[in-house]
Amino acid sequence: MPISYRNIHLIYNPTAGRLQRSGESAVERLVEILERQGAQVTPAPTAGPRDARRLARRAVEENADLVLVAGGDGTINEALNGLVHSTVPMAAMPLGTANVLAVELGMAGAPERVAASIPDLVPERVAVGHLRSADQERYFLMMAGAGVDAHIVAHVDPELKKRLGKLAYWIGGFTHLGVKFPEFEVLVDGRTLRSCFTLAARVRNYGGDLEIAKTACLLDDYFEVVVFEGDYSFRYLKYFTGVLANLLDHMEGVHICKAKRVEFRPPPEEEVFVQVDGEFAGRLPAVVELVPSALTLLVPQAFREKFSECRDAASGAQ
């Protein structure tokens, strides 16, 4: 099927997991597939951290009608920050260490197959999250996490991540067993809770391997907020078991709600970290808020239909 997009900017991270192994030939194959469908493609490699944001803004200025982002969730997050509030649609190509968005949308297959499917994808105007932390402001698409997971993200060994991919985060997590983490306050849904790990999610899957926020959806206009109580890391082994057994919403010490705003307050003289889309995003205090209708995202028709079914089922249960 001919592609309807004619001026495509392909932003890619040359150091992303799959690209490191295959080199520029992977990008060349993607360009060839898109050009066979009738598109003009401008390859745009990132030169370093945060460069995808600059490249996305340049794509908007140069009247791109589609921005493809090839890399991991970090590269997608950077590009998102250059596209928010524009009308230029974005699509993700799974090429990085972690590809939560690709898994969520059912697009985690071979990049070449995803590129060939572009004509079949449909545009959806979606909400994004906005973070204000003690260190920075940033938009995000999938999740914000405060506490334990952000601590792991902040301290993961970059070389280990480069060699082992997602396994580096699991190793980082298990090395913290027995550690006591600082508790912080979570203000959400009219309540103040105490937590060592809280997730404000727009997607169901976490890290591409687990489902924590079971009813979250990118096409909805709220976060699913999951608050975990307890300051000793051994308690999180119990929570981990609850995630695997799909029993999280019945567990003592776990609070789940829908919200459009979450505030995190640190304890006195304690350092607590926050992450967005798997990237370190500073320290508490922090506020995350939903920004409606902020980004055009290309999604498979099947994802749109699945969301409609889930929403209808949820409405019928109310």
Please give the span between the terminal C-alpha atoms of the chain, in angstroms, as a whole number: 42
**What's the confidence (pLDDT) of residue 238?**
79
Residue 105, domain member (yes or no): yes
Whether 89 and 224 share a structural domain: no
Residue 56: Cβ within 10 Å count:
26
CATH number for position 54: 3.40.50.10330
Q: Are 195 and 186 in contact (CB under 8 A)?
A: yes
Whether 229 and 116 share a structural domain: no
Residue type, 90: M
Whether 105 and 166 share a structural domain: no
Whether 114 and 134 share a structural domain: no
- What domain range is 33 assigned to? 7-120
**What's the confidence (pLDDT) of residue 318?**
45
Residue 232, domain member (yes or no): yes
CATH number for position 266: 2.60.200.40
Rounded Cα distance, 33 and 45, in Å: 18
Whether 69 and 211 share a structural domain: no
**What's the confidence (pLDDT) of residue 249?**
84
Rounded Cα distance, 308 and 301, in Å: 11
Whether 38 and 62 share a structural domain: yes
Whether 86 and 154 share a structural domain: no
Residue 40 token pair: 């003009």
Q: Are 202 and 217 in contact (CB under 8 A)?
A: yes
Residue 96, domain member (yes or no): yes
**What's the confidence (pLDDT) of residue 247?**
82
Whether 55 and 177 share a structural domain: no
Residue type, 302: A
Whether 275 and 239 share a structural domain: yes
Chosen domain end from 93, 120, 147: 120
Rounded Cα distance, 221 and 260, in Å: 8
**What's the confidence (pLDDT) of residue 173?**
55
Q: Are 147 and 186 in contact (CB under 8 A)?
A: no
**What's the confidence (pLDDT) of residue 168?**
53
**What's the confidence (pLDDT) of residue 140?**
97
Rounded Cα distance, 131 and 20, in Å: 31
**What's the confidence (pLDDT) of residue 157?**
60
**What's the confidence (pLDDT) of residue 313?**
47
Q: How many residues does the chain have?
A: 318
Rounded Cα distance, 145 and 165, in Å: 20
Q: Quick one: CA dihedral 175, 94, 205, 187, positive or negative? A: positive
Residue 81 token pair: 């920050």
Whether 115 and 136 share a structural domain: no
Q: Are 299 and 90 in contact (CB under 8 A)?
A: no
Whether 211 and 245 share a structural domain: yes
Residue 106, domain member (yes or no): yes
Residue 2, domain member (yes or no): no
Whether 78 and 218 share a structural domain: no
Q: Which residue has the tokens 């932390």?
A: 133
The per-residue DSSP string of 199-224 comes to EEESSSEETTTEESSTT--TTSSSEE
Residue 256, domain member (yes or no): yes
Chosen domain end from 120, 141, 175: 120
The per-residue DSSP string of 123-158 comes to EEEEEEEEEEESS-EEEESSEEEEEHHHHHHHH--H
Residue 189 token pair: 């849904």
* Exposure letters 77-105 (e unless 16+ CB within 10 A, then b): bbbbbbbbebebbbbbbbbbbbbbbbbbb
Number of domains in the chain: 2
Residue 312, domain member (yes or no): no
**What's the confidence (pLDDT) of residue 239?**
78
For the chain, how long is the longest CA-to-CA vector? 59
Chosen domain end from 120, 154, 184: 120
Residue 6 token pair: 């004619």
Give the chain's residues under pLDDT 70: 1-2, 16-24, 96-98, 155-178, 208, 232-234, 308-318
Residue 284, domain member (yes or no): yes
Rounded Cα distance, 234 and 245, in Å: 18
Residue 12 token pair: 């890619």
**What's the confidence (pLDDT) of residue 194?**
95
Q: Which DSSP helix (H) or strand (E) runs through 244?
A: helix 235-244
